[in-house]
Amino acid sequence: MVERNGGDGAAAPGRRSSLRLRVLFLVCLVAVPLSVERMLALVAERQEQVSALEEDVRNFARSAKLAQMEGISRSLTALDVLSRMADRLLEDPAACNRQLSRLADEVAGIQGAFIADAAGLVRCAHAPLALGVNIAERDYFRDAAATDGVVMTEMFVSRVSGRNSVFLLRAEHGPGRALLAVAGVVVDLQWLSRIAAGTAVELGVVVDLIGDNGTVLVRYPTMPEIVEHRFPDHPLTRAVAAEESGIVRVPGYDGKERIFAFEGFGHLPISIAVGIETAKAVGPIDSKVRSTALAYFIALACFLLLAWVAEERIVIAPIARLTRAVAAVGRGEADHVNDMGVAEFSPLVNAFNEMARRLSQRNNELRTMNGRLASLARTDGLTGLANRRTFDVQFSQDWVRARGEGVPLTLVMLDVDHFKAFNDTRGHLQGDEALRAVARMLSAAAAGTSNLVARYGGEEFVVLMSGADVGAGVAFAEDVRRLLAEIALEHPAAPRRRVTASFGVASVVPTAEGSPDALIAAADAALYEAKRAGRDRVIAHS
């Protein structure tokens, strides 16, 4: 080429242009494979994050299944005992009725129980209205009589209680497989709902307990238009019916697309599905991939443009200085990039300085936002009280501290009476305002003390009183009950025509052998005793 062009000065621009092309080619030779590798790495990273998210959802589903099985196993154990003793219990119906009443009152997870003879006549039951009812023509009676295993019914309206119910039944056979009796227990769906609420600890997670034909037995968060309704042709129902366990990305029963992991319960015709909203879960991952790819290509384009317009002898040195200055900013050794003395580099220097300024500002904003998010994670969004997670953490800490100091730990649990009827008559917005009013009263009553007031779930609240005995807990509960009576929130569907609450109080001096769950169970038992005693009262656990 030199020989052909000789010393012609007109060839100089061509040589300079050719050099730029070669530099650009060399840059592309390095940049393009790196770009491809980076994009593949981003795609792989996204897939890993999505897989990790799906595994988390699957673990949530397994945990939820174990929690529900723990609740259902109580019903199965009680049913097994009843079925084995059914013919002997029927020999003394009066004693049998008393025993089933105690069983329904004392065993969590069971609303009631009954025993029918071989003719299908209910001769022993927890509820007097059930006595004498003939269930021989019911499909579930025939199914139970035909098998030795447990039969679980679909959800149906009970002729005795008038409410949606689910039965577990088991038959007792004699010699020659002669039918002796059929025992049944009524599953407490509210208990299963509380278990579901306890397992949905992550923000945005929904839990569905699904029966035959897509009947939603339990859902958390609760939605009246979903719970106790059937969705036989829903994509989630079809997915659950097709396999014992798995993970799918389908719309939920509320119409929002979610990543669902589901688990079956073996011989029982129910499955549990745990889902997290797809947009909230995968959206940040996709946004990060897109922003990273865009930033990478913008930086690459800027670099190629600089390589095209700059000559090697006047570009390499400024680029080296610029690189060192930017690296110093990146390591935190400097807060800005000094002028390189090249007019063409001034926009790039300004851009880096602006980026450094914005990054510093963004970091400050992120620290502030993280503080706010941490506060939100500890607070119930509706009432402004501490949420369930905050209560659990504080409860564990206070239990350990009280055990070490040998001081009592008192728990006050309250539940707004007839709250579903309140929502039905006055609407959910007024229901939310009523819960906020109760929360304000609890906060006012606890003002100036170290007591922790938290929303336990739904219309239930708890007050944790460290160092206080049961008398202090009862006095606190009576103060709140009196304040609630004074403000007289209107409740057209309540017997007293105003909003009331039932209170359960329990206290214990923690020991190494004790369990925090026992204190919660004691307060819960006292609360339900207050409800059974007529509501709007305070009961202390004995």
Query: Which amino acid would we find at residue 112?
Result: G
Residue 271 gets which letter from DSSP? E
Per-residue CA distances from 352 to 300, 349, 362 (Å): 15, 5, 15
Cα gap 223→408, rounded to integer Å: 39
What are the residues facing 157 on neighbouring strands?
Answer: 164
DSSP 337: P
How many contiguous H segments (helices) and E segments (strands) does the chain have? 14, 17
Whether 45 is catalytic is: no
Question: Which of left, alpha, beta for 200 (phi over 0: left; psi -120 to 50: alpha)?
Answer: beta
User: How many Cβ atoms from other residues are within 10 Å of residue 439's Cβ?
Assistant: 19
Q: Where do we find the tokens 């062009």?
A: 5
For residue 10, the one-letter residue type is A
From the list 172, 263, 459, 460, the catalytic residue is 459
Q: Are 197 and 97 in contact (CB under 8 A)?
A: no
Taken in order 362, 364, 370, 373, the sign of the CA dihedral is: negative
Contact 200, 457 (CB under 8 A): no
Contact 413, 403 (CB under 8 A): no
Q: How many CA atoms lie within 13 A of 507 on its CB side?
A: 18
The side-by-side arrangement of strands in the sheet containing 268-277 is 216-220, 205-210, 268-277, 257-265, 245-251
Quick one: DSSP state of residue 289? H
The residue among 175, 156, 174, 173 whose CA lies nearest residue 165 is 156
Q: Where are the alpha helices (DSSP H) in 255-345?
A: 278-309, 312-331
Calpha distance 66→25 (Å, rounded)? 61
Strand partners, 207: 220, 274
CA 513 to chain CA centroid, nearest Å: 30
Q: Give the number of other Cβ atoms within 10 Å of residue 430's Cβ.
A: 15
Contacts of 372 by beta carbon, 8 Å cutoff, 6+ apart: none
Contact 480, 455 (CB under 8 A): no
| Strand-strand pairing, 452-457 and 409-416 | unpaired
In the chain, the amino acid numbered 265 is F
Positive or negative: CA dihedral 491, 497, 499, 504 = negative
Q: Which residues are catalytic?
A: 459
